[in-house]
Structure 1
Amino acid sequence: MSLRRILHGIILQLRHCCWCRQAEAMETITFSPPLYKQRYQLVVELVEKLQARKVADLGCARCTLLSRLKFCSCIEVLIGVDTDLELLKENMYRVSPLPGDYLQPRPSPLSVRLYQGSVAVKDPRMLDCDFVSCIELIEHLDAAELARFSEVLFGYMNPAVVVITTPNADFNILFPGVTQFRHCDHRFEWSRSEFQAWCLDIGRTNAYSMEFTGVGVGPAGTETLGFCTQVAIFRRDPSRAKIKMKNSELPYKLVYEAVYPSLQNRKILHDAILNEVIFAAECVRRSFIDIDTGGQSEWRTCRADGEECARAAFSPEVSGPSFGGSPEVAGCPELSWSPEVTKIGAQLHIPVSTFFNNPRIRQLSDSLQQLQEVLQASNRVKLSHCGSSVLYPAGDEN
């Protein structure tokens, strides 16, 4: 085992001890939901409200907030920055695509990047952010780092919106075990007046307006102490936005990058359409068998191309919601029977227009013509000679 890993393990143990002491000191007050979840929820709701497209979390640590932000459909670029390389490597799985992301691709693209770097250092890849979060970060910076941090974030990065959270020192009186700071790694903890004075100075210097709020309500009768966590929401004055010159230096180290599957990719879009068509066809097959054996419909026999043919003539008494005046297909309420669905031999002939009536398939396909072109270009489905129907195995033994 390398010396670096040994030292990293010792640091983690010390951090764990700090968190244990902090938890013991704060166990007299509980928050529901837990305080960290309230902080993250505030950020997620604000990102969704603002429809931010490029979002960065500075001091992302275990990537917990990033793992929630990746589900915001508006985000196209998601960035996490932290100084702890090992911590990023251990937690980068949290922002990796899941199997469901391939089964249900996003409508818009998403790239997630994790960087090792200092928030007090300029990197041009952090420019053009719509939203930046700094959750319980600033109290871990010494005075020199804090000064550089505010200049880098507000003077250089110049994002449209910034959210900063930090402990409210006024609230610490409610924690009997806290003698100085809530965490052993904190360099300071500000009162509300100190925090607001720092924020107002940033706003005047960099043309930002701000709103002060917080999360974590104390017991009844302690309202004058404010929230446990104080929050500042900065909004850049658009008329005074600065134009930045990008430098060629890239001091941050890229630790991980993931590109999520998106319907903007032509191949992924076509695969999604085909998956929906095959699923819908299977729903038709199952309902065809159920109706054939359940006596809910009248069957007429005819001759088609020399083979025995069965065609469903639906009874108006068939129950269940309908689409276009015909009963829904079991297991797939969006796809309803068409009187034109026929069984010839061992195959079902399902008109392409029937699939286009499915809201999900219609959403993915711009037109019936595009749907037909996707089906014709694929070997995953079989079409009739004229291309107007999908041929799908009936799959019944009768």
Structure 2
Amino acid sequence: MEGEKAQCTNVIGNNREVPKERIIKFKPPLYRQRYQFVKDIVDQHEPKKVADLGCGDTSLIRLLKVYPCIEELVGVDIDEDKLRWRGDQLSPFMGDFLKPRDLDLTITLYHGSAVERDSRLLGFDLITCIELALFVANRYGYSVEFTGVGDPPAGAESVGFCTQIGIFRKNEERAAESRVSERHDEHVYKAVFTASYPSLQQERFLRLVLVNEVSRQVESLRLKHLRRLREGEGLLGIQPPENDSNFPSFGPAFTDVEKARIENSPKPFVAGRKFFVPLRRLVAYPKLHRICPNEDVMRSLVDDCISLSSDGSAVVVDLHDHYDYLFEI
């Protein structure tokens, strides 16, 4: 984040030069440096509730909504028309439904002023005020650290940063006192937009993701089993691997802990023309273990959509299907 000097020469009339004007350009641009500063704070502290006072075109909110730690985002601005116009860009897209977040996320835009008090902002972990000056340190029990972005050019260090930043942190010893005096019924702001994002905390989306991943994993294991059968018959001339934990279907290789968890779980098996994958095996795989590590919960969520064994302990599919013969699997 450095400032660079550039010289601009103008010629007017009969080739008479106007004194050269010095222009300082920042790379990356200052607005990006300001946003990055806030993103760095989010990375460091992982706040759950974040508000942006004077959110303008909601650029910062759009950058922050991808953070998995954030569960509530609020923007406040005095331009109601801009908030309504920009609100549509904060609605969930198709990809948000296909790959839900782990945690819920609600985004709300309020029409109001940063200088007005609204109790709906009480208890927020991080409040940003970009390009606004607030005097809160002494009066409200905060400590403050001053820094900034936009380094001055060499030789002009005394002028300081182009954008000054104050980081206010609540003093713990005075936090309880201020909470006692705070009113929780002051609703000054007018809500003009609200959006809730799908997440794995919502059962319908958890069920959808779980059914899709179970089906994908079972199909992967079934195809591996068929390949091993052929390899064992010498049709491919390749020695089959001993354990599928060394050969994940997709994504990065398993860690030692993940391999041990898989190897210690019941293996898939064949009975007649059916292929069985124990639920205990499925919950051992990393992605399914993250989504749903409990075998009983998995059973209750998938039993309406996926065929289970009579005792409910395993997923059951046909060992062969039409496509196996088409593609000679």
TMscore range, shorter length: 0.7 to 0.9
Give me the whole-angstrom Cα distance separating, in 2, the residues matched to 1:36 and 1:213: 15
Give me the whole-angstrom Cα distance separating, in 2, the residues matched to 1:344 and 1:40: 61
Query: 2:96·2:198 contact (CA, 8 Å) conserved in 1?
Result: yes
| Pairwise CA distance, 1:50 | 2.1
Aligned AA (1:328): F
Per the alignment, in what secondary structure is the counterpart of residue 275 of structure 2?
A: strand
Query: 1:63·1:94 contact (CA, 8 Å) conserved in 2?
Result: no
Match of 1:217 in 2: 151
Distance 1:248 1:357, change over 3 A: closer
Match of 2:232 in 1: 297
Aligned AA (2:118): D
Query: 1:287·1:330 contact (CA, 8 Å) conserved in 2?
Result: no
Aligned AA (1:331): F
Give me the whole-angstrom Cα distance separating, in 2, the residues matched to 1:126 and 1:329: 46
Give me the whole-angstrom Cα distance separating, in 2, the residues matched to 1:39 and 1:82: 18
| Pairwise CA distance, 1:343 | 7.3
Match of 1:114 in 2: 109
Give me the whole-angstrom Cα distance separating, in 2, the residues matched to 1:341 and 1:85: 62
Give me the whole-angstrom Cα distance separating, in 1, the residues matched to 2:153 and 2:186: 50
Give me the whole-angstrom Cα distance separating, in 2, the residues matched to 1:220 and 1:287: 63
Aligned AA (1:392): V
Per the alignment, in what secondary structure is the counterpart of residue 24 of structure 2?
A: coil
Instruction: After the TM superposition, list the runs of 4 or more consecutive aligned residues in structure 1 that deviate by more than 6 angstroms.
Output: 335-338
Match of 2:311 in 1: 386
| Pairwise CA distance, 1:137 | 3.0
Give me the whole-angstrom Cα distance separating, in 2, the residues matched to 1:330 and 1:124: 50
Distance 1:252 1:279, change over 3 A: same
Aligned AA (1:30): K
Q: Are 1:62 and 2:83 matched, yes or no? A: no
Q: Are 1:257 and 2:182 matched, yes or no? A: no
Match of 2:94 in 1: 99
Aligned AA (1:205): R
Distance 1:77 1:330, change over 3 A: closer
Aligned AA (1:277): V
The correspondence of residues 164-243 of structure 1 with structure 2, limited to 5 A, is 199=135, 202-241=136-175, 242-243=178-179
| Pairwise CA distance, 1:94 | 3.3
Q: Identity rate of aligned residues, in percent?
A: 34
TM-score w.r.t. the length of structure 1 is: 0.64
The correspondence of residues 270-281 of structure 1 with structure 2, limited to 5 A, is 270-281=207-218
Partner deviation per Cα, 1:180-237 (whole Å, 9 max, x = no partner)? xxxxxxxxxxxxxxxxxxx5xx422222111111111233322222111111111121
Match of 1:371 in 2: 298
Q: Are 1:34 and 2:29 matched, yes or no? A: yes
Give me the whole-angstrom Cα distance separating, in 2, the residues matched to 1:343 and 1:218: 74
Give me the whole-angstrom Cα distance separating, in 2, the residues matched to 1:344 and 1:221: 82
Give me the whole-angstrom Cα distance separating, in 2, the residues matched to 1:340 and 1:107: 29
Name the count of aligned residue pairs.
289
Distance 1:382 1:240, change over 3 A: same
Per the alignment, in what secondary structure is the counterpart of residue 342 of structure 1?
A: strand
Q: Which runs of 5+ in 1 are unaligned?
A: 1-25, 139-149, 151-198, 300-313
TM-score w.r.t. the length of structure 2 is: 0.77
Distance 1:290 1:37, change over 3 A: farther
| Pairwise CA distance, 1:265 | 2.2
Over aligned residue pairs, what C-alpha RMSD do you find?
3.0
Query: 2:267·2:277 contact (CA, 8 Å) conserved in 1?
Result: no
Choose the corresponding residue for 1:341, options 260, 269, 279.
Answer: 269
